[in-house]
Amino acid sequence: MTTYILRRVLLMIPTLLVVFTLTFLIVHATPGGPWDESEKPLPEAVKANLSRQYHLDDPLYKQYVDYLVNALQGDFGPSYRFVERSVSDIVGATFPVSAQLGVLAMLFALVVGIPMGALAAVKRNTWIDFVASLITVTGIASPPFVRISLLIVIFSLALPWLPSGGWEGIWDSRVILPTIALGMGPAALLARYTRSSLLETLAQDYMRTARAKGLSERVAVTRHAMKNALIPVVTVAGVTLANVITGAFFIERIYGVPGIGRMFVDSVTGRDYPLLLGIVLLFALLISVTNLLVDISYALIDPRIRYR
Amino acid sequence: MTATATAAPAAMRPSASLWRDAWRRMVANRPAVVSLAFVVALVAAALLANFLAPYPFDQQDLDQTDLGPSAAHWFGTDQLGRDMLSRLLYGSRISLAVALVDVLIVLLIGVPLGLVAGYLGGRIDTVVMRTVDILLAFPNLLLVIVVITYLRAVLDLPQSGALALVGELDKATGGLLGVFIALGLVSWLTVARLVRGQVLSLKETQFVEAARMVGASSARIMGRHLLPNTLAPIIVAATFGIPGAIATEAGLSFLGLGVRPPFPSWGILIAEGVRSMRAFPHELIVPAAALAVTLICFNFLGDGLRDALDPRLKVD
């Protein structure tokens, strides 16, 4: 087991390096910066100064190595747009907000998605199953910007129950709508996986045994089937994280949450390429680590899986 | 000689009944049939947009801004007095063009790469599948945004040669070409992996061995023997890919990275709707509902096709 984990951790390094190199090259090849947006073109001398300040005159390999060495020490260079702040500063200020929102959205997805999928499987081919599948397809198919804006229209404009934007931490009512909008996609994914996995488990021989020895249907399902059915559901965690990250681009922007998703979109539209690069690398690291944890936990909880 | 003459119809019969069977199962699936009807109607609406739309999509009427639904404007007007229904109809062309291009990318890049990687194996397989693995490891949208940021910045500069041509085409299509290029990077990945997996098991079968024995070339085996046998999963995967591509275009346009105004991409309509949703919610609800219903229908259609074409995949 230790060898397996060690090997997986070591295998992550080349993948991350490839991703780092590709992103660096693409972002580096992207010309211009926020100064191109202004009405008056900058004088050449000013542009030369800017290039010098951001080391854009250095040869490519030197910029690459410098960036890599600094990045490993947590320094992702200065931002183009926020002159006084470094990329690490900005990430440090915005990431915790998104992390809180993201964790809440995941919890929402777990609490709503798994029971809904289980219910749909147990009540297969009834109206409950049909309604659940309608909700599931809606959650999977509707893009995050549609979800959040319709939620705002319904729950803060038509029915004046909740605020229509902003962020005051997780103990404020402002957290409810973005959490639901962000969590709906993962909830739908979890529901779909739980349903199909539980259906498969319910058809197993040991379930017939459980029923035959006189267990009530409820105990048979919750004690015997759910445990095994939830094992494959763990593998959705990686997809779920990707879903939450890309959903945050839109939801944080529309709802005015000062998180890293909004910062990422701002860095794209504002041509703040160092910030863009830093955030993409952070996402890459997050997703790689999550996938690693998924594989390891999968091997740990399912004794049938042999790790080499 | 007579053997081949009798063998041909015999070989045709199961293949015809496979599709008839699939059609029967599909028709029995109510959500899929309703969705299919919606998609057909949407395609018709997009093709006939210039006859159906009561106004040109960019015709402004500054005396008639932000109107609610009425007889003259069924879905109301936007902040510049443009008819929402007309903009929605013309916008469906953009969404369906994206759907079409997405399917083309799947068929022209994903399927051949999957076939070749799976059948020939070796170094080609390694290169293709490593590329797929790396590109699939990250959220599509993240990748697409990084690439389109690069494309937009490069195309904005004065260019020469081929790039200038690409830039001109991109401008002429209102930014759609950039979206297509970005989609081209990610749309083929899942299908390439899927086809390769199918081919890996199919190439061990006796009918492929027999074809190889009588001297069929690799190209012929892939085209005549492997491709038809992977068609069902390809159709299902392509259908499931469509809503993703439409949503990606709408998302990019929503962020201002995709189609450029005044071209009425549904993503742009939604972005404009979000800006005025506090005072005039219909400007948001109309395009948002259109996009959501379209995506849901394509998903139900994909579910229906999967259950119809490959009943083994159906759980219950």
Q: What is the ipTM of this complex?
A: 0.86
| Residue of B190 and B313 predicted with greater confidence | B190
In chain A, residues with a C-beta closer than 8 Å to the C-beta of B134 are 15, 18-19, 22
Alpha-carbon gap: A120 to the closest alpha carbon of chain B (Å)? 12
Listed in sequence order, the residues at least 6 apart from B275 whose beta carbon sits closer than 8 Å to its beta carbon are: B79
Alpha-carbon gap: A141 to the closest alpha carbon of chain B (Å)? 5
Terminal-residue alpha carbon distance, chain A? 8
Amino acid in position B113: L
pLDDT of residue A232: 80
Both tokens of residue A21? 């190199």
Cβ atoms of A225 and A201 within 8 Å: the answer is yes
- CB atoms B315 and A245 under 8 Å: no
Instruction: Give the torsion through C-alpha atoms of A106, A110, A113, A114, to 10 deg.
Output: 160
Q: Residue A117, exposed/middle/buried by CB under 10 A (0-12, 13-18, 19+)?
A: buried
Summarised one tens digit per residue, pLDDT across range A102-157 is 999 999 999 999 999 999 998 888 899 989 988 998 898 899 999 999 999 999 88
Instruction: Using alpha carbons, select from A267, A88, A10, A191 the residue that is nearest to residue B142.
Output: A267
CA–CA separation, B171 vs B157, rounded Å?
13
Alpha-carbon gap: B185 to the closest alpha carbon of chain A (Å)? 14
In chain B, residues with a C-beta closer than 8 Å to the C-beta of A269 are 255-257
| Residue of A289 and B12 predicted with greater confidence | A289
Grouping H, G, I as helix, E, B as strand and the rest as coil, residue B205 is: coil
Both tokens of residue A148? 């959040």
pLDDT of residue B108: 93
At B196, is the pLDDT very low, low, confident or very high (cuts 50, 70, 90)?
very high
pLDDT of residue B3: 46
CA–CA separation, B110 vs B105, rounded Å?
7
In chain B, residues with a C-beta closer than 8 Å to the C-beta of A22 are 134
* Closest Cβ opposite residue B146 in set A26, A137, A250: A26
- CB atoms A138 and B146 under 8 Å: no
Within an 8 Å CB–CB cutoff, is residue A245 touching chain B?
A: yes
